[in-house]
Amino acid sequence: MSRYQASGYWYGEGRSVPEAVDLLNLMRKYREAERKMRAATRGSMGMNETDMSALRFLLAAHRKGLVPRQRDFAEELGISNASVSVLIDRLCRDGYAERIVHPADRRSVGIVPTDYSDTDVRGTLHRMHERMMDAVCTLSEAERVAVAKFLKAMIRSVEIEDEPSQPSRGKSQMAESTASSR
């Protein structure tokens, strides 16, 4: 393979301008690199794939001031409520999350991340995110427009035969941490 050379990339036959297929290859390469990185992070935290996803989801929700319920995890992760219950057990056991009484519905259990989990995850993922930001910030306006066009086309390509139409998910509601008891 090695189309990579210390001084930069080259595409077949010494071209330095990428063709369509080269972009798709780069896309694949990115995906692979990201997968590895996530696997490494996961490994270093001794976590499994879905637990990691769950934790990311939890932190994201928390930053928006939301308190997700177990049900929300089930929907987000595509696993059963029963499995979520056990998953949250693991997260709590390892000190990443805590169960609290849900502010808006006392039948539910609200899940909040611990401070520890926040710093721990940020330690690995946040640095990467910042590098990405830095990198993207060096792009000119025209370049950003081109990239957006590309990404939108990619999204359309994979979504097309996904579902005919599914505006979907009208019932997350997680209750906005304040006692917005409806």
Partner DNA sequence: AGAATATCTTTAGACAAGCTAACTATTAGA
Partner DNA sequence: TCTAATAGTTAGCTTGTCTAAAGATATTCT
77 burial (CB, 10 Å; 0-12 / 13-18 / 19+) is: middle
**Residue 12 in contact with a copy of itself, rule: CB under 8 A:** no
**Residue 178 in contact with DNA, rule: CB under 7 A:** no
Question: Which of residues 135, 171, 181, 182 is near a copy of itself by CB under 8 A?
Answer: 135
Paired tokens of 79: 């696993």
Q: Which residue has the tokens 């939108």?
A: 152
Element (H, E) at 177: none
Query: In 3-state terms, what secondary structure has residue 96?
Result: coil
Q: For residues 160 and 155, what is the distance between their CA atoms, to the nearest angstrom? A: 9
Binding window for DNA (CB under 7 A); candidates: 3-11, 56-64, 84-92, 114-122: 84-92
Instruction: Mark 66-105 with x for binding to a copy of itself (rule: CB under 8 A) and - for no binding.
Output: ------------x---------------------------
User: Residue 60 binds which one of DNA, a copy of itself, none, with CB within 5 to 8 A depending on kind?
Assistant: none
Asked if 18 contacts 73 with a C-beta cutoff of 8 angstroms, the reply is no
Instruction: Mark 39-58 with x for binding to DNA (rule: CB under 7 A) and - for no binding.
Output: ---------xxxx-------
- 109 vs 121, beta carbon nearer DNA: 109
